[in-house]
Amino acid sequence: RTKIPVAVLLSPRHCLCVVAFARRGVAREWRKMTGTMRFGAVLLTVLVVSAPSTSSYVDYYLEDHCSPLGTPTRYEASTAPQTISFGATNRVFRPELRDEGCRAGLSFSTFNESLGFLVTLVSLDVPQREAGNCSDFVLLEGVNNDTLNQRRFCGRQFPRARGVRTFGDSFTIWWFSEPLPGAKRTASFKVVIVAYVNASAFNGDCPYGWRQCGDGACIEPGVWCDTIYNCGDGSDETPEICGASSYRLTIPGIVIIAVVVAFAVIAILLIIYVRRRRNAYRAA
């Protein structure tokens, strides 16, 4: 991921406010604070550099693929992981989805027949209007699991949260929602697919740069320790590999930290400035 040069953002020579305050006689106080600021900048930089990097996921939103003909949109997937979701930006149905309903499908195939997909059902929140009746639902085609393949899913969670292999080199996911004009409706889910190849096809070793799951599937290293169980046995998210804490600093998180630190520095400088002016006024 792109790293933000936090040390540059927080460098004293880039803070114009410091120049203004220094001209008013607070240069000494600023020098006292420089060490603390530099330490904070170095700490943030270390966190950014040491955070494990992950491959960029290719995102697809099923609400953008509604088709009155009920035909899926087809893609040839690269080895980069794919994220398929519904309601990713706003769980509330858009008016046209609420009033007209939606039938959307995405079909993925690998660029090489020797590859397959690992499908991880990350999250599901599709309310049922009637107990046991999925009027809005997700359906999977091509997964090598009888309890998941060609079954309707709604409710609060998928029955499995670890990677499931596909039968072959293709996978299709469907979203169905019925028309219900005037009613407020919400739904969301997230599914991740990752291309894999069996280590047995390479004499027990993975292709160069790929890493092997405990069950023999080889996947790209960028999807290890990304908080998603891409391997069917969960071996890509173990504490031994990822460490006891596998949190990450994202770019928005870094920006928030930088803004908070900047505001704190400005507040301290203002307090020092006000006190100096007050002392100078009393002395006069």
Express each pLDDT in 144-201 by its tens digit. 999 999 999 988 888 888 899 999 889 999 999 888 777 778 888 999 999 998 887 7
Which residues, 6 or more positions from 91, have their beta carbon under 8 angstroms from its beta carbon? 125, 186, 187, 188
The arithmetic mean of pLDDT across residues 67-93, rounded, is 76
Express each pLDDT in 226-278 by its tens digit. 888 999 899 888 888 888 544 444 555 677 888 888 888 898 988 888 888 88
Q: Write out the two tokens for 24.
A: 């008013």
Count the Cβ atoms, other than its own, within 10 Å of residue 183.
10
Count the Cβ atoms, other than its own, within 10 Å of residue 23.
9
CATH 2.60.120.290: does it fit domain 58-242? yes
Per residue, what are the HEC states of 117-153? Answer: EEEEEEEEEECCCECCECCCEEEEECECCCCCECCEE
Dihedrals phi, psi of 142, to nearest 5 degrees:
105, 0
Of 125, 170, 167, 129, which Cα lies nearest the Cα of 148? 167
β-bridge mates for residue 165, sequence order: 118
* Upper half-sphere CA count for residue 111 (Cβ side, 13 Å): 6
Contact present, 216 and 110 (Cβ < 8 Å): no
Q: How far apart are alpha carbons 54 and 102 in whole angstroms?
A: 33
Residues of the chain with CATH 2.60.120.290: 58-242
Contact present, 277 and 80 (Cβ < 8 Å): no
Q: Which helix (H) or strand (E) holds 176?
A: strand 170-177
What local confidence, expressed as pLDDT, does residue 184 receive?
77
- Least confident segment among 9-18, 20-29, 148-157: 9-18
β-bridge mates for residue 125, sequence order: 188
Q: Write out the two tokens for 36.
A: 């603390």
Estimate to the nearest angstrom the gap between the alpha carbon of 7 and the chain centroid. 25
pLDDT over threshold 80, residue 70 = no
What local confidence, expressed as pLDDT, does residue 111 receive?
80
